[in-house]
C-alpha cells in the first residue's frame, strides 16, 4: 500500500507542476503539454484510489479503472482538437501568440514560407 | 532439472543487464550523435534479446513464449529502422550545419565523405 | 528468483534513467529523439522482468503494444522535423 | 528492500520527466520529454494493477499523442523566439510557483488522509460478472454498469473528428485530410510501413479479441489499427480518403449507431436504456464491440490525419 501512496504524492506534485507550466509557458503548445501533465496527475491519483480499492481477488477497483480508460481517450481527443486549432491558427496568421494585440498577418515570416518546407 | 533452467535464466538475464550497462556507458562516453545512436540500438536490443531468452523458460504456456519472441523481433525491426531514420536526419543536420566542410580534406570533411557511398549503397536495397 | 528479477528490472530502469539524462541534454534533436528508443527497449525489458517477477501474464500484451508503437514518435520526427541546424536554442 | 526501491523508481522518473518537460526552454525537447513520460506512465499503470489502463496508455500515449505532438512542435518551430519574448517576469513566476506549491500541498494532504478501509466497488463488480459472461471486470464495467460512459466516449471521439474537420477552409471542405506524403525515396520508411502493419493489425485484433476475458478491448485494439493506417499514410503508400465519401460517413457512425440502437432496444425489452434482457448480455456486448471497433479505428485515424487540406479530386 505504501507504494501506492508514493504514486499518490507524485500525482499531487504533477498537478502542481502542470499548473505552474500552464501559467508561465507562453507558447500554446507548451500550455497543451502542461494541461496534459495536470491531466495525467489526476489520472494517476485516480489510479491510486483504484489500487487502494483492491478487493474480491481483483488488483484494483474496476470502476475507477474503467473511467480512467474513458478519461485517457477523451483527453486524447481534446488534445488532438487543441493541437489542430493551434496549427490552423499558425497557418492563417503565421503566429501562435495569445496576446491581445496580434501583429498583422503581413508582418513577420509569412505562413506560406513555413508551409513550403512540408 | 528446474534448478538448471533457473541457472540458465540467471546467467542470460545478468548478461542482458550487462549489455544495457554497456549501452548506457556508450551513450555517455561516445563523442557524437551517430556513435551514440550505434551504442543505443545495438547494445540495448541485444540486452533485451538476452532478457527475453532468459525469461522464456519462466513463462507458462507456449503462447506467452511466442509473444515474448514476437516482442523482441518487433523491437529489433522498429529499433533498427528508427535508428537508421534518426541517423539520416542527424547526418542531414550535420551537413546543413557545415556545408563548406564537405569538399576539402580535413577531419570532418573526410569523415563525412567516407560515409557518403556506404549510406547511398545501403539506401537502395 | 523473484528478488533477482526485481533487481534486474531495477538495474535496467537505472540504466534507462542515466541514459535519459544524457540523451535529453542534446545537443541536437536527433540525440533527444533517442529517448523514445531508449524506453522502447529498456522500458519493455523492465516491464517484462517486473511482470515475470509478479507473475502477471498480461504484462506481455502491454509490452507487445509498446514494441509495436515505440518507433512511432521517431518516424514522426524524421518525417516532420525541419532539422534545426545545430539547435541554436541551446547555448 | 530491493522491491521497494524498484517500485519507487518509475514514480520518481515520471516526476522528473514531468518537471523537465515543463521547465525546459526548447519546445521540441519538452515534447520528447513528454513522450518518454507517457511511456513510463505505462509502467506505472502496471504497477498500480491497472493493466487495461496500461494498454490504453501504451496505445494512445505511446503512439498517437507522440505523433501528434512531434508533428506540431516541428511545424511551430518558427514561433519559438516570439513566444519566448512573451515569457512572464519573475514576480509572475514566483506567484505561479506559490500557487502550484499550494495546490500540491492541499492535494498531498488529501492523498495522505484518504479513508483507510478504502471504499470499493470491486466486490459488486465481481459479483455480477458471472451473469454477464465476461471474464474481464473492466469490460464488464465499461459495457454493463457504465455503458452510458462508453457510448458517450465513442460519441465524443466523433465530435472531436467533426471539430477537426470544421477547421478546414471552405474551398477544401470535403477534401482529403493532411498533405499527401511522398513515398520515401530512401526506402526505409516504406519498408517498415510494409512489414509492420500486417503484424500490427493482427496484434490489434488480438488485443480486441482477448478484451472479453483479459486486459484489452476495442479502444486499445482500434488505436493500434489506426496507428498502422497512419504509418502507411506517412510512408506515402496510402492516402486518406476524402471526408465527403459516403462509405467514410457510414462507417464512422455505424458503431455508435449500433450502440444507441442496442440501448433503445434495452429500454423497450429490459426496462432501462442500455439494459440487457436476461441471458442476452454477452451476445449484445459482443455486437456492440464488433460494431464499434472499425468505427473507432477510422475515427482515430482520421482525427490524426487532420484537417482537410486538399480538394476531393478523384
pLDDT at C88 over 70: no
Q: Which residue has the higher pLDDT, A77 or C2?
A: A77
Are the CB atoms for D73 and D237 separated by under 8 Å?
A: no
The C-alpha of C71 sits at a distance from chain B's nearest C-alpha, in angstroms, of: 6
Q: Looking at the structure, do residues D30 and D144 belong to the same domain, yes or no?
A: no
With respect to residue D6, please indicate whether it lies within any of the assigned structural domains: yes
Number of domains observed in the structure of chain C: 1
The tens digit of pLDDT for each residue in D130-176 reads 667 677 777 777 777 778 888 888 899 999 999 999 888 888 887 88
Residue A25 φ/ψ, nearest 5 degrees: -85, 120
Q: Which residue has the higher pLDDT, D270 or A105?
A: D270
Output the pTM of the full model.
0.85
With respect to residue D110, please indicate whether it lies within any of the assigned structural domains: no
Residue among D35, D67, D209 at smallest CA distance from D134: D209
Average pLDDT in the C62-79 region? 84
With respect to residue C14, please indicate whether it lies within any of the assigned structural domains: yes
Query: What was the pLDDT predicted at C87?
Result: 38
In 3-state terms, what secondary structure has residue D215? coil
With respect to residue D91, please indicate whether it lies within any of the assigned structural domains: no
Chains contacting chain B through 3 or more C-beta pairs under 8 A: C, D
Q: Looking at the structure, do residues D201 and D278 belong to the same domain, yes or no?
A: yes
Q: Looking at the structure, do residues D188 and D279 belong to the same domain, yes or no?
A: yes
D195 shares contact with chain B (CB less than 8 Å): yes
The rounded distance, in Å, linking the Cα atoms of A8 and A47 is 9
Q: Closest-CA residue in chain A for D219? A: A73
Structure confidence at residue A108 as a pLDDT band (50, 70, 90): very low
C1 and B58 in contact by Cβ < 8 A?
yes
Are the CB atoms for D289 and D152 separated by under 8 Å?
A: no
Q: How far is the CA of D218 from the CAs of C64, D208, D225, in angstroms?
A: 16, 5, 10
**In chain B, how long is the greatest CA-to-CA distance?**
65
The rounded distance, in Å, linking the Cα atoms of D37 and A78 is 19
The rounded distance, in Å, linking the Cα atoms of D18 and A13 is 9
Structure confidence at residue B118 as a pLDDT band (50, 70, 90): very low
User: How deeply is D296 buried, as exposed, middle or buried, from its count of CB atoms within 10 A (0-12, 13-18, 19+)?
Assistant: buried
What residue spans of D146-280 are helical by DSSP H?
147-165, 188-210, 218-234, 246-269
The last residue of one of the domains, among D10, D45, D77, is D77
Query: What was the pLDDT predicted at A107?
Result: 44
B84 and D199 in contact by Cβ < 8 A?
no
Is the ipTM value over 0.95, yes or no? Answer: no
Residue D176 φ/ψ, nearest 5 degrees: -90, 135
Contacts of C74 in chain B (CB under 8 A): 82, 85-86
Q: Looking at the structure, do residues D165 and D304 belong to the same domain, yes or no?
A: yes
The C-alpha of B63 sits at a distance from chain C's nearest C-alpha, in angstroms, of: 10
Structure confidence at residue B109 as a pLDDT band (50, 70, 90): very low
Average pLDDT in the A72-79 region? 92
pLDDT tens for chain D, residues 1 to 314: 667 777 888 888 999 999 999 888 888 888 888 988 988 999 999 888 888 899 999 888 878 888 888 888 888 888 877 777 777 788 888 988 899 899 999 998 888 888 777 777 777 777 777 667 677 777 777 777 778 888 888 899 999 999 999 888 888 887 888 777 777 666 788 888 888 899 999 999 998 888 777 777 888 899 999 999 998 888 888 888 888 888 989 999 998 999 888 888 888 887 777 777 777 777 888 888 888 899 999 999 999 888 888 887 65
Structure confidence at residue B104 as a pLDDT band (50, 70, 90): very low
Domains of chain A plus CATH, in order, are: 2-95 (1.10.287.3510)
Query: What was the pLDDT predicted at B99?
Result: 54
Q: Looking at the structure, do residues D145 and D290 belong to the same domain, yes or no?
A: yes
Among A101-105, A107-111, B20-24, C48-52, the range scoring the smallest mean pLDDT is A107-111
Q: How far is CA D153 from the centre of its chain?
A: 11
The tens digit of pLDDT for each residue in A2-60 reads 777 888 899 999 999 999 999 888 888 899 999 999 999 999 998 888 888 777 667 77
Domain that holds residue C21: 2-79
The C-alpha of D273 sits at a distance from chain C's nearest C-alpha, in angstroms, of: 33
Q: How far is the CA of A64 from the CAs of A28, D107, D117, in angstroms?
A: 31, 18, 16
The rounded distance, in Å, linking the Cα atoms of D193 and D229 is 9
The C-alpha of B28 sits at a distance from chain C's nearest C-alpha, in angstroms, of: 6
The rounded distance, in Å, linking the Cα atoms of D192 and D234 is 11
Domain that holds residue D27: 1-77
What residue spans of chain D are helical by DSSP H?
2-23, 27-47, 51-56, 66-75, 80-85, 90-112, 122-132, 137-140, 147-165, 188-210, 218-234, 246-269, 281-305
Q: Exposure pattern of D148-157 as b/e (b: 16+ CB <10 Å)?
A: ebbbbbbebb
Q: Closest-CA residue in chain D for A99? A: D86
Q: Closest-CA residue in chain B for D186? A: B123
Query: What was the pLDDT predicted at A61?
Result: 80
**Three-state helix/strand/coil letters over A83-118:** HHHHHHHHHHHCCCCCCCCCCCCCCCCCHHHHHHCC
Contacts of B125 in chain D (CB under 8 A): 187, 191
Q: How far is CA D228 from the centre of its chain?
A: 14
Number of domains observed in the structure of chain D: 2
Flag whether B touches A (3+ CB pairs, 8 A cutoff): no
Query: What was the pLDDT predicted at C27?
Result: 79
The rounded distance, in Å, linking the Cα atoms of D134 and D112 is 35
Domain parsing of chain B, residue ranges: 2-123
User: How deeply is B61 buried, as exposed, middle or buried, from its count of CB atoms within 10 A (0-12, 13-18, 19+)?
Assistant: exposed
With respect to residue D109, please indicate whether it lies within any of the assigned structural domains: no
B24 and C15 in contact by Cβ < 8 A?
yes
Q: How far is CA D239 from the centre of its chain?
A: 22
Query: What was the pLDDT predicted at A15?
Result: 94
Amino acid at each position: 500500500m505504501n507504494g501506492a501512496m508514493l504514486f499518490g504524492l507524485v500525482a499531487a506534485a504533477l498537478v502542481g507542476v502542470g499548473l505552474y507550466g500552464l501559467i508561465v509557458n507562453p507558447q500554446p503548445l507548451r500550455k497543451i503539454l502542461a494541461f496534459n501533465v495536470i491531466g495525467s496527475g489526476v489520472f494517476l491519483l485516480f489510479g491510486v484510489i483504484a489500487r487502494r480499492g483492491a478487493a474480491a481477488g481483483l488488483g484494483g477497483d474496476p470502476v475507477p479503472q474503467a473511467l480512467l480508460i474513458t478519461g485517457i481517450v477523451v483527453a486524447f481527443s481534446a488534445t488532438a482538437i487543441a493541437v489542430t486549432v493551434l496549427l490552423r491558427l499558425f497557418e492563417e496568421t503565421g503566429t501562435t501568440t495569445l496576446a491581445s494585440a496580434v501583429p498583422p498577418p503581413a508582418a513577420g515570416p509569412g505562413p506560406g514560407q513555413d508551409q513550403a518546407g512540408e | 532439472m528446474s534448478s538448471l533452467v533457473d541457472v540458465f535464466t540467471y546467467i542470460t538475464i545478468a548478461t542482458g543487464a550487462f549489455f544495457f550497462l554497456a549501452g548506457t556507458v556508450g551513450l555517455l562516453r561516445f563523442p557524437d550523435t551517430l556513435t551514440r545512436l550505434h551504442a543505443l540500438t545495438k547494445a540495448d536490443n541485444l540486452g533485451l534479446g538476452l532478457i527475453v531468452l532468459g525469461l522464456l523458460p519462466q513463462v507458462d504456456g507456449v503462447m506467452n513464449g511466442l509473444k515474448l519472441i514476437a516482442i523482441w523481433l518487433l523491437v529489433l525491426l522498429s529499433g533498427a529502422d528508427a535508428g537508421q531514420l534518426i541517423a539520416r536526419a542527424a547526418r542531414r543536420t550535420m551537413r546543413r550545419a557545415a556545408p563548406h566542410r564537405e569538399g576539402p580534406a580535413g577531419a570532418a570533411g573526410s569523415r563525412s565523405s567516407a560515409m557518403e557511398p556506404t549510406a547511398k549503397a545501403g539506401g537502395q536495397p | 528468483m523473484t528478488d533477482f528479477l526485481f533487481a534486474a528490472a531495477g538495474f535496467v530502469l537505472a540504466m534507462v534513467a542515466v541514459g535519459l539524462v544524457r540523451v535529453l541534454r542534446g545537443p541536437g534533436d536527433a540525440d533527444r529523439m533517442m529517448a523514445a528508443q531508449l524506453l522502447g527497449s529498456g522500458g519493455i525489458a523492465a516491464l517484462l522482468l517486473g511482470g515475470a517477477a509478479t507473475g502477471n501474464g498480461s504484462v506481455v500484451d502491454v509490452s507487445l503494444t509498446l514494441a509495436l508503437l515505440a518507433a512511432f514518435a521517431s518516424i514522426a520526427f524524421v518525417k516532420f522535423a525541419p532539422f534545426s541546424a545545430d539547435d541554436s536554442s541551446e547555448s | 528492500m530491493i522491491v521497494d526501491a524498484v517500485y519507487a523508481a518509475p514514480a520518481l522518473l515520471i516526476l522528473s520527466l514531468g518537471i523537465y518537460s515543463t521547465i525546459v526552454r526548447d519546445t521540441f525537447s519538452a515534447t520528447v520529454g513528454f513522450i518518454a513520460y507517457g511511456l513510463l506512465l505505462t509502467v506505472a499503470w502496471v504497477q498500480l494493477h491497472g493493466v487495461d489502463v496500461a494498454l490504453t496508455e501504451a496505445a494512445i500515449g505511446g503512439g498517437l499523442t507522440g505523433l501528434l505532438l512531434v508533428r506540431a512542435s516541428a511545424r511551430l518551430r518558427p514561433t519559438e523566439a516570439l513566444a519566448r519574448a512573451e515569457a512572464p517576469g519573475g514576480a509572475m513566476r514566483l506567484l505561479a510557483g506559490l500557487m502550484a506549491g499550494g495546490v500540491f500541498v492541499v492535494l498531498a494532504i488529501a492523498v495522505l488522509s484518504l479513508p483507510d478501509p478504502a471504499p470499493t466497488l470491486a466486490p459488486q463488480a465481481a459479483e455480477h460478472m458471472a451473469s454477464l459472461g465476461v471474464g474481464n471486470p473492466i469490460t464488464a464495467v465499461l459495457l454493463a454498469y457504465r455503458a452510458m460512459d462508453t457510448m458517450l466516449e465513442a460519441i465524443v471521439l466523433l465530435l472531436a473528428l467533426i471539430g477537426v474537420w470544421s477547421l478546414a477552409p471552405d474551398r477544401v471542405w470535403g477534401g482529403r485530410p493532411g498533405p499527401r506524403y511522398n513515398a520515401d525515396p530512401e526506402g526505409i520508411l516504406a519498408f517498415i510501413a510494409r512489414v509492420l502493419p500486417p503484424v500490427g493489425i493482427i496484434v490489434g485484433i488480438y488485443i480486441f479479441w482477448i478484451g472479453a476475458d483479459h486486459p484489452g478491448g476495442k479502444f486499445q485494439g482500434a488505436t493500434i489499427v489506426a496507428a498502422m493506417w497512419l504509418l502507411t499514410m506517412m510512408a506515402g503508400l496510402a492516402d486518406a480518403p476524402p471526408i465527403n465519401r459516403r462509405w467514410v460517413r457510414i462507417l464512422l457512425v455505424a458503431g455508435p449507431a449500433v450502440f444507441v440502437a442496442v440501448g433503445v432496444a434495452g429500454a423497450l425489452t429490459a426496462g432501462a436504456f442500455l439494459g440487457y434482457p436476461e441471458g442476452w448480455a454477452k451476445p449484445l456486448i459482443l455486437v456492440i464491440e464488433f460494431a464499434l471497433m472499425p468505427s473507432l479505428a477510422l475515427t482515430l485515424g482520421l482525427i490524426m490525419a487532420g484537417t482537410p487540406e486538399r480538394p476531393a479530386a478523384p
